[in-house]
Amino acid sequence: MRRLARLCLLVQLLAVFCLAAPSPDPLQPKEEVQLCKENAGQYGGRLVVGLRAEPKTLNPVTAEDAVSREVIGGLMADLVHINRSTQQSEPALAKSWKVSPDGLNYTLKLRRGIRFSDGQPFDADDVVFSFAVYTDEKIDSPQRDLLILDGKPIQVSKLNQYTVRFTLSRPYAAAERIFDSLAILPRHILEKPYHDGQFLQQWSLNAPASQIVGLGPFRLKQYLPGQRVVLERNPYYWKADSAKHRLPYLDELVFVFAGNEDARLMQFEAGETDVVNRLSAQNYSLLSRQGGPSAFQLEDLGPSTEYNFLLFNLNDLGSSHLPEVERKQVWFRDLQFRQAVSAAIDRDAIVRLAYGGRGAPLWGNVSPGNKLWVDANIPHSQHSLDAARQLLKSAGFSWNGNGALVDPNWQLVEFSIIVASSNSQRMQMATLVQDDLSKLGMQVSVVPMEFRALLERVFQNHNYEASILGLGGGDADPNAEMNVWVSNGSTHLWHLGQAHPTTSWEAEIDRLMNQQMLTLNYKRRKRLFDQVQQIISANLPLVFLATPDVLVAAKPAVGNFHPAVLEPTTLWNVDQLYLRRGAEMARSR
Amino acid sequence: MRPRSAILLPAALLALWHLAFFCAGFLSPYDPAEQARELPYSAPARWQFRGPEGFHLRPYSCAVSAATEQPVPCYPLHFFVHGWQYRFLGLKWNLHLFGVPSPGRIAVLGTDAYGRDLWSRLLFGGRISLAIGLLATLASLVLATLIGTVSGYYGKWTDELLMGGAELFLVVPWLYFLLALRAMLPLHLSASATFLLVVGVIGSLGWARPMRLIRGVVLSARERNYVLAARGFGASDTYLLRRHIAPSTAGVLLTQAALLVPQFVAAEAALSFFGLGISEPVPSWGNMLAALQQYSVLVSYWWMLAPAIALVVTSVMYCWLAEALQRSLKSSSI
């Protein structure tokens, strides 16, 4: 019996020894750490966050899905980082950068003396290696497109151990923003597999934790399939707080796999997770009713950069044999028809009913949440059925004896809107739009659909009439939206696969978007992008509806909690988050 | 209570229940699709007998929108009022059992996310859902009886073939079948086409399980002494099936029917997830229940559970009737 007890004690001691997170390494004299101005926090504790699915990989070069990228965000670091709070770029692994007057050369000075999470030093060779991998055609990284300008990859050269130069083939506005989220890879670990052609198999979820090495605030400790990913403190992280204590404060960052938003909310309510983001307005008000500020820190950060819209199918259906859709495209292509639809939609009701008042109506492609780029002069057309009827009348539409709208050929105006059945807000928008348009005599049917089936119709076979979708939510910079607005872009939703712009205004948008990409001055760029916004709102390729507010919640114990509108809303400053203990908790109340 | 009279009560109640849905237009103060956007998630009306001039025999209905938490003034209730137009027995009517003077609104059971009157939606939805439930049950039980009887009675290779077919049918991944079906159909389906589609899909998917039960009953009935004796006297297969075998399956059929009706009403909600169900703004209990998939609705607005309660009441009444019928069948066969 006594032997058994001793054995138990030994096992427990071993467990404590093995499970304890590594304590932060003391700062080295020659180490150029970045000092943060945030309030100093306390070391220790684990922060638990719910994810909607399991990550698919931990390889930052091949990861495509948002969930994988969220986990990788805790493991990796980039050269220049976009501060999610100010939406401006700021130094990260590169302590400074210089742009040549012609805008073609970016010279980055790297931090000296900093180390990867396995203690190995970081220098210019790692940067050169990382960009060689990102631009490699065989690896085909999703980020590769960003690094190719006019068909030529951005050239990287090492000037000395701590200086690298990036050479662009043509000027590119805000090029330093490209570096955001491009994780710097450890050459000492990945060079061999890369040369052996094994790179794509690296850093899967089954890889041993010691293999996955990065410059982020955390490193992998454990992955339990179907349950959680546990990250532990990177003892060599290159940031310190104002009191020169090495960050991060947290011992562990744990991601649990929860499922949909409701499941994540329930876990948060039950106290199993500490932070929950992307809350719907309904769930947000549920939390605020339940306990208010003493139970949760609830934040409404205002409109997000996402934009939801009604999309009409304006694709060239040439050989796809969809006579019914083609017949209706005659209406959809009529600007006055789209303007009438836009005037008939009660956007305030959408914000009030679908977003519980926590959102903003939209008349253009840039949400008021994108403070740097929104054009405040976009006209806000009033909700007016009379104006809509006038527009329809002047476009040759009329009404039959039953009050139903008919086109100039006396065909009933009826069409369907496909919506993702899993997105309850967009389903509600569709029902409201349907009701608004029925007042114009249009017969609209709402067809809920599984999301992938919907994407296939929109992107592949174009067998749909209208849809309600949303875009945005990524970087606030206009360059991130190139693929939507340029006529040959991969997300040019209303008319995909154009070899040449079909309309003169699309050609004008192409010209302006490409010009803003080459313009380095912010004010001049803003003027160009304002013009784009005006053309879009005048021609209504998409009928913009509304944007939801960014709503997040955290336990009161989470310190330095400063969520931002841009993704990752709550974890962008995870290196500075900490858990308050008893005494400080009492003070903070 | 004698078995015959025991049937009367549940049958009468069920008839009344169905009559209410049949006269949905008369009983509904509002068009089920009409949105009152200023009153989303308004709680069921509270009744007051104190009007502006003191105590009043005529009840006043008062509402509060749960979403906006704005109280709305109270309005007196009137009976046999003229309101929105509906069609009934092929004619246009505008007479309603009750209502409140405009601009007031009465929400007997509260309102949904768009401020639509839940009471009116429940009645109109019940009309569609009960029709779907009953027709789909009928279709699947007819199929089940035909296949189950043939399989159980003839046995041997017929049985093996049919049972194998049924088992194959049960293991088909229906999710993909439904996705494919949605992809093949046109996007814009008329209300009656959707109705037939739902009945068809549910009815043709639901036959395999009851069929196995019926086959079991037939299998045992086939070997009963009276059946063997009748066969010995030269009775034909059709006679045996009609006179002896089919009556023995009645009990199973009735209990199955009572179970399947509520199941199929709920199945319609699942179909609307694939875009195959009754679509907005036409109400059905299925698409009304779909709103409860949102956790916040489930825990905040209890009145949204009304279609679930109606469904439970329906199935309890059907079970009751089935039990009474079964008892009466047993006593008459003794």
pLDDT at B67 over 60: no
- Residue A88 CA, chain-centre distance (Å), reads 16
- Quick one: average pLDDT of A518-523? 86
Q: In this structure, what token pair is assigned to residue A79?
A: 């050269």
Q: Which residues of chain B are within 8 Å of residue A464 when distances are taken between CB atoms?
A: 187
A225 CA: distance to closest CA in chain B (Å): 26
Per-residue pLDDT band at A362 (split at 50, 70, 90)? very high
CB of B35 within 8 Å of any CB in chain A? yes
Q: Do A286 and B300 touch (CB under 8 A)?
A: yes
Query: Which B residues in the span 5-34 are in contact with A, Cβ-Cβ below 8 Å?
Result: 33
B251 Cβ contact list (under 8 Å, min separation 6): B326, B329, B330
Across the interface, which of A283, A285, A448 has its CB nearest the CB of B273? A448
Largest CA distance in chain B: 85
Do A55 and A71 touch, CB atoms closer than 8 A?
yes
Query: Which contacts qualify for B234-239: CB closer than 8 Å, 24 or more apart?
Result: B237/B153
Determine which of A121-125, A501-505, B245-249 has the lowest per-residue pLDDT on average: B245-249
* pLDDT tens-place string over residues A560-588: 999 988 888 889 999 999 998 875 665 55
Pairing mode of beta strands B78-88, B91-99: antiparallel
Which of A59, A34, A184, A194 is closest to A124 using CA atoms? A184
Residue A585, pLDDT score:
63
Best A449, A456, A462 residue to mutate vs chain B (most B CBs within 10 Å): A449
CA A533, CA A379: separation in Å to the nearest integer?
Answer: 11
B186 CA: distance to closest CA in chain A (Å): 9
- Cα separations in angstroms, B272 against A415, B174, B283: 18, 14, 12
Q: Do B114 and A431 touch (CB under 8 A)?
A: yes
Q: Do A447 and B187 touch (CB under 8 A)?
A: yes
Pairing mode of beta strands A94-99, A105-110: antiparallel
Do A309 and A469 touch, CB atoms closer than 8 A?
yes
- Quick one: average pLDDT of A168-174? 84
- Quick one: average pLDDT of A99-126? 92
Q: Do A262 and B35 touch (CB under 8 A)?
A: no
Residue A195, pLDDT score:
93
Query: Which B residues in the span 106-135 are in contact with A, Cβ-Cβ below 8 Å?
Result: 113-114
Residue B61, pLDDT score:
73
CB of B101 within 8 Å of any CB in chain A? no
Q: Do A416 and B274 touch (CB under 8 A)?
A: no
CA A257, CA B44: separation in Å to the nearest integer?
Answer: 38
Residue of A nearest to B188 (CA): A416
Residue A39, pLDDT score:
74
Residue A16, pLDDT score:
47
CB of B192 within 8 Å of any CB in chain A? no
Q: Do A431 and B280 touch (CB under 8 A)?
A: yes
Per-residue pLDDT band at B69 (split at 50, 70, 90)? low
Q: Do B188 and A415 touch (CB under 8 A)?
A: yes
Across the interface, which of B37, B183, B188 has its CB nearest the CB of A453? B183
Tell me the Cα Rg of chain B: 24
B179 CA: distance to closest CA in chain A (Å): 8
Q: Which residues of chain B are within 8 Å of residue A448 when distances are taken between CB atoms?
A: 272-275, 279
CA A357, CA A346: separation in Å to the nearest integer?
Answer: 13
Across the interface, which of B40, B275, B299 has its CB nearest the CB of A448? B275
Alpha helices in A214-280 (DSSP H): 261-269
Q: Do B179 and A353 touch (CB under 8 A)?
A: no
Q: Which residues of chain A are within 8 Å of residue B271 when distances are taken between CB atoms?
A: none
- Quick one: average pLDDT of B288-312? 88
Q: In this structure, what token pair is assigned to residue A175?
A: 């090029």
Q: Which residues of chain B are within 8 Å of residue A414 when distances are taken between CB atoms?
A: 188
Residue A293, pLDDT score:
65
Q: Which residues of chain B are within 8 Å of residue A359 when distances are taken between CB atoms?
A: none
* pLDDT tens-place string over residues A398-441: 999 889 999 999 999 999 999 998 888 999 999 999 999 999 99
Residue B53, pLDDT score:
66
DSSP conformational letter for A115: B
Which of A72, A55, A60, A53 is closest to A200 using CA atoms? A60
pLDDT at A472 over 90: no
Alpha helices in chain B (DSSP H): 3-22, 24-27, 118-154, 156-171, 174-184, 191-205, 208-222, 225-232, 237-240, 246-248, 250-273, 285-290, 295-300, 306-333
Q: In this structure, what token pair is assigned to residue B148?
A: 């189950």
Q: Which residues of chain A are within 8 Å of residue B299 when distances are taken between CB atoms?
A: 286
- Quick one: average pLDDT of A339-347? 95
**C-beta atoms surrounding B210 within 10 Å:** 25
Torsion of CA B315, B316, B320, B322, to 10 degrees: 20
Residue of A nearest to B278 (CA): A447
Residue A10, pLDDT score:
55
**Interface residues from chain A to B (CB-CB < 8 Å):** 262, 265-266, 280, 282-283, 285-286, 289, 324, 346, 349, 352-353, 356, 414-416, 418, 421, 424, 428, 430-432, 434-435, 445-450, 453, 463-465
Mean confidence (pLDDT) of chain B: 84
Across the interface, which of B114, B179, B279 has its CB nearest the CB of A450? B179
CA A331, CA A406: separation in Å to the nearest integer?
Answer: 11
CB of B70 within 8 Å of any CB in chain A? no
Which of A111, A122, A118 is closest to A25 using CA atoms? A118
A336 Cβ contact list (under 8 Å, min separation 6): A391, A392, A394, A395
Helix (H, G, I), strand (E, B) or coil at A47: strand
CA A311, CA A542: separation in Å to the nearest integer?
Answer: 5
Residue of B nearest to A444 (CA): B188
The three-point CA angle B5-B138-B158 to 5° equals 115
pLDDT at B51 over 70: no
pTM of the model: 0.85
Across the interface, which of A418, A428, A430 has its CB nearest the CB of B113? A428
Q: Do A445 and B187 touch (CB under 8 A)?
A: yes
* pLDDT tens-place string over residues A2-52: 565 565 555 555 554 445 678 888 888 888 989 888 778 889 899 999 988
Q: What is the value of ipTM here, to two decimals?
A: 0.83
Residue A17, pLDDT score:
46
* pLDDT tens-place string over residues B73-115: 777 888 898 988 888 888 888 889 988 887 778 888 988 999 8
Residue A351, pLDDT score:
95
Percent of chain A at pLDDT above 70?
95
CA A284, CA A288: separation in Å to the nearest integer?
Answer: 6
Residue of B nearest to A461 (CA): B183
Q: Do B295 and A262 touch (CB under 8 A)?
A: yes
Number of A to B CB contacts under 8 A, please give it: 85
pLDDT at B334 over 60: no
Q: Do A434 and B281 touch (CB under 8 A)?
A: yes
B175 Cβ contact list (under 8 Å, min separation 6): none
CA A439, CA B72: separation in Å to the nearest integer?
Answer: 26
Q: What is the DSSP string of B239-291?
A: HHIIIIIHHHTHHHHHHHHHHHHHHHHHHHHHHHHTT-SPPTTS--HHHHHHG
A42 CA: distance to closest CA in chain B (Å): 35
Residue B236, pLDDT score:
86
pLDDT at B244 over 90: no
Q: In this structure, what token pair is assigned to residue B284?
A: 């059905």
CA A381, CA A364: separation in Å to the nearest integer?
Answer: 11
Residue B333, pLDDT score:
58
Q: Do B296 and A435 touch (CB under 8 A)?
A: no
Q: With b meaning 16 or more CB within 10 Å and e meaning fewer, what string describes A518-550?
A: ebeeeeebbebbbbbbbbbbebbbbbbbbbbbb
What kind and span of H or E run contains A130? helix A124-134
Q: Which residue has the higher pLDDT, B13 or B170?
A: B13
Per-residue pLDDT band at A212 (split at 50, 70, 90)? very high
Q: Which residues of chain A are within 8 Å of residue B113 when distances are taken between CB atoms?
A: 353, 428
pLDDT at A555 over 80: yes
CA A24, CA A160: separation in Å to the nearest integer?
Answer: 29
CB of B87 within 8 Å of any CB in chain A? no
Q: Which residues of chain A are within 8 Å of residue B189 when distances are taken between CB atoms?
A: 445
* pLDDT tens-place string over residues A524-552: 999 999 999 999 999 999 999 999 999 99
Per-residue pLDDT band at B47 (split at 50, 70, 90)? confident
